[in-house]
Amino acid sequence: MRSLPWSCVGAVTLLVLFASGTPVAAQQKEPAKGAAVDVKKVIEAWIFPEAVKEKQWSNFSASPKEPNPSVAFRSTARPYKEVWSFYAKKCGSDAKYEKNDLGGGQDQNGTYVYFSRPRTQDGEERACFVRVERGYAVTVTIGKKKDGGADLDIICVVR
């Protein structure tokens, strides 16, 4: 059986959480009147510290005039375990790396889920972290590089 590409899994997860976030959103704090979510600022806030642009098109959106949704691609030489822990904490989880399969939760600002597993028989690891808050949703997929670092794909949708 052939598995789905991680970008498809991440996108589907984001859409499911985004669509199902309405009941939780009703429990969340209302944003200040006139406050708009800036998709570029959300993307920047979710980029791992010291991550670098390695591709010619490291940021991508449907239109330069309307950057929503927006995608960013980055890479880091920092250990995969450190990157995994950063995104778990960024989502709101206190989970530790130790090959966690999946988890999730919610707080006063939103909901989150994460899952990780080997992608191939040779042990290549991948993980996906999704955070939904009032006004936006962000999905981060990370992949372990052969040198132990990580590649990052960050997708943000503002609603």
Evaluate whether 126 touches 119 at the Cβ level (below 8 Å): yes
* Between 93 and 99, residue with greater pLDDT: 93
- Write down the pLDDT at residue 22: 41
Q: Would you say residue 140 has pLDDT above 80?
A: yes
* Between 76 and 120, residue with greater pLDDT: 76
Question: What per-residue string of b and e applies to 53-88 under the rule 16 or more CB within 10 Å gives b?
Answer: eeeeeebebeeeeebbbbbbbbbbebebbebbebbb
Question: Where along the chain do its domains lie?
Answer: 6-27+38-158
pTM of the shown model: 0.75
Q: Would you say residue 27 has pLDDT above 70?
A: no
Band (125; pLDDT cuts 50, 70, 90): confident
- Write down the pLDDT at residue 137: 94
* Between 8 and 143, residue with greater pLDDT: 143
* Between 90 and 158, residue with greater pLDDT: 90
Share of the chain above pLDDT 90, in %: 37
Look up tokens 């994460």; give the residue: 114
Specify the DSSP class assigned to residue 5: P
